[in-house]
């Protein structure tokens, strides 16, 4: 007679009756501990971004004041105006958008089928190849590629950036898609094949729609990491083909303490991906946690 009530109680998250007082106290400590933990874990992130926003809205006078001022008085949008007026930030934003969208689009085109193929054939060796792409230090292929693009005269265009960004985006897409495709039930595809579809059609009309959440995640993450990339831009970008991370670095290296414009520039550069994260956090979390399972 004892087991069923105990089991039911446990699955409900409670202790069996009879130990309620001690249990409730322990539970309260437990919950308090959880809340404190979460607070500690989350505060570095909150405080940092708050400070970043504060820096960007303060005047130079406020920014060089000591003790530091948190709430600007008065707040000013001058820093943001200066960022766009003094630098060609609009051009750089467009560059970043073009490069990231292209690199992501191409990565999906190549990576989704690749993920499918690798998942189906259980090819760990191919996965290792993708891992090697991740492992290689960027500079190892940057130097020769720089020389190659110089020689081809392509350095004034965005093509070199898109091509090199593929090295980042394709592995991400493949890695995530392997996870998603492996988790798909085979029954639907099997029935399609039995009905006479080619594997390509089974892929395209059955597997892909089913794996759409995975594709969404892969797109988001691939875009974010391409957007954030710095080192390729620093080496390969020309005057008009610079991406935002490179541009914001240029803002630093010669200004004397102009923290306001610098923080504003930093905010402008990272705002798109932060907003993307805020709106798509559920998908991102789902994608990264599911992908982790299969690695």
Partner 1 sequence: MAGGLLALRRRKHTYVRRYWMFAVPAALLVAAVIVFPWLFTLFMSVHDWKVSGNTYYVGLTNYVHLMHDDRFLWAVVRTLYFTTAAVVLPVGIGLWAAVCFARRFPLRGAARTVFILPMMATPVAIALVWTMMFHPQLGVLNYILTSVGLPPSSWVYSSDTVIPTLVMVETWQWTPLVMLIVLGGISSLPVDPYEAAEIDGASGWQMFRFITVPLIWPFIVVAAVMRIIDALKAFDTIFVITNGGPGTSSETINMLLYQTAFGYYDLGYASAMVVVFFVLIMVLSLVLLGTRQQELTL
Partner 2 sequence: MIRRRSLLAASTVLLAAPAIVRRAGAQAAFNWQQFKGQTITVSLTKSPRADNLQAHEKEFEALTGINVLSEQMPEQQQRPKMVMELASGRPSFDVTHFSLHVSKRVVGVGHWLEDMRPYLADPKLTSPEYDWADMSAGALRAATQPDGRIDSLPVESDVWLVYYNKQIFADGGVSFPKTFDEMLATARKLTDPAKGVYGFVARGVKNANVPVWTSLLLGQDQETVTPDGKTLLTDTPAAIWAGEMYKSLLRETAPPGVVGFNWNECQTSFMQGKVGMWLDGVGFAPPLLDPKVSKIADHVGFGVMPAGPRAHNCPVFTDAIGIPARSKVKGPAYLYCQWATSKQMALNLVNMGGGASPRQSTYKDPTLMKNNPFGQEWLATLLTSLTIARAGLPEIVPVTEFRDVFGIALTNMIGGADPATELRKATATFRPVLESSLKT
- Show contacts with partner 2 in window 160-219 (CB under 8 A): none
Which residues, 152 to 171, sit near partner 1 by CB under 8 A?
Answer: 163-164, 166-167, 170-171
The reply to whether 4 sits near partner 1 by the rule CB under 8 A is: no
The reply to whether 48 sits near partner 1 by the rule CB under 8 A is: yes
d(CA 148, CA 39): 51
Nearest distance, CB of residue 245 and partner 1, angstroms? 4
Are the C-beta atoms of 115 and 211 separated by less than 8 Å? no
Nearest distance, CB of residue 232 and partner 2, angstroms? 14
d(CA 170, CA 291): 15
- Mention every residue, 6+ apart, whose C-beta is less than 8 A from residue 237: 95, 161, 243, 246
The reply to whether 32 sits near partner 1 by the rule CB under 8 A is: no
Task: Please identify which residue in 5, 33, 156, 292 interacts with partner 2, judged by CB under 8 A.
Answer: 156
Nearer to partner 2, 23 or 157 (CB): 157
Nearest CA among 262, 266, 269 for reference residue 79:
262
The reply to whether 174 sits near partner 1 by the rule CB under 8 A is: yes
d(CA 127, CA 68): 50
Nearest distance, CB of residue 191 and partner 2, angstroms? 58
Print the SS3 string covering 67-107.
CCCCCCCCCCCHHHHHHHHHCCHHHHHHHHHHHHHHHHHHH
| Residue 217 binds: one of partner 1, partner 2, none (C-beta under 5 to 8 A by kind) | none
Q: CA geometry: angle at 235 spanning 229 and 240, to 5°?
A: 85
The reply to whether 124 sits near partner 1 by the rule CB under 8 A is: no
Task: Please identify which residue in 98, 234, 273, 290 interacts with partner 2, judged by CB under 8 A.
Answer: 234
| Residue 90 binds: one of partner 1, partner 2, none (C-beta under 5 to 8 A by kind) | none
d(CA 107, CA 278): 23
Nearer to partner 2, 136 or 150 (CB): 150
Q: CA geometry: angle at 134 spanning 145 and 97, to 5°?
A: 65
The reply to whether 157 sits near partner 2 by the rule CB under 8 A is: no
The reply to whether 254 sits near partner 2 by the rule CB under 8 A is: yes
| Residue 153 binds: one of partner 2, partner 1, none (C-beta under 5 to 8 A by kind) | partner 2
Q: CA geometry: angle at 230 spanning 245 and 132, to 5°?
A: 155
Are the C-beta atoms of 221 and 172 separated by less than 8 Å? yes
Nearest distance, CB of residue 90 and partner 2, angstroms? 15
Task: Please identify which residue in 146, 159, 205, 230 interacts with partner 2, judged by CB under 8 A.
Answer: 146
| Residue 50 binds: one of partner 2, partner 1, none (C-beta under 5 to 8 A by kind) | none
Q: Which residue shows structure tokens 């110089």? A: 150
The residues binding partner 2 (CB under 8 A) are 60, 64, 146-147, 150-151, 153, 155-156, 234, 238-239, 250, 253-257
């Amino acid at each position: 007679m004892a087991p069923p009530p105990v089991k039911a109680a446990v699955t409900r998250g409670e202790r069996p009756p009879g130990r309620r007082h001690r249990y409730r106290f322990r539970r309260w400590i437990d919950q308090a501990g959880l809340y404190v933990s979460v607070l500690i874990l989350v505060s570095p992130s909150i405080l940092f971004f708050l400070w970043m926003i504060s820096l960007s809205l303060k005047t130079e006078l406020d920014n060089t004041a000591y003790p530091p001022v948190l709430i600007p008085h008065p707040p000013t949008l001058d820093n943001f105006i200066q960022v766009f007026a003094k630098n060609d930030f609009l051009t750089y934003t467009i560059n970043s958008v073009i490069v990231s969208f292209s690199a992501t689009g191409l990565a999906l085109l190549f990576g989704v089928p690749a993920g499918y193929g690798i998942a189906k054939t259980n090819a760990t060796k191919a996965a290792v190849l993708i891992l090697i792409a991740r492992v290689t230090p960027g500079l190892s292929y940057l130097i020769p590629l720089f020389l190659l693009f110089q020689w081809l005269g392509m350095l004034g265009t965005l093509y070199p950036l898109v091509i090199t960004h593929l090295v980042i985006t394709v592995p991400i897409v493949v890695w995530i898609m392997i996870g998603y495709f492996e988790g798909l039930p085979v029954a639907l595809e099997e029935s399609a094949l039995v009905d006479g579809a080619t594997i390509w059609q089974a892929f395209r009309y059955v597997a892909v729609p089913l794996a759409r959440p995975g594709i969404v995640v892969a797109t988001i993450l691939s875009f974010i990491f391409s957007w954030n990339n710095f080192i390729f831009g620093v080496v390969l970008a020309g005057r008009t083909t610079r991406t935002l991370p490179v541009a914001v670095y240029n803002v630093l290296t010669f200004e004397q303490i102009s923290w306001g414009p610098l923080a504003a520039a930093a905010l402008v550069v990272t705002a798109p991906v932060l907003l993307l994260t805020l709106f798509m956090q559920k998908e991102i979390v789902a994608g990264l946690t599911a992908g982790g399972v299969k690695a």
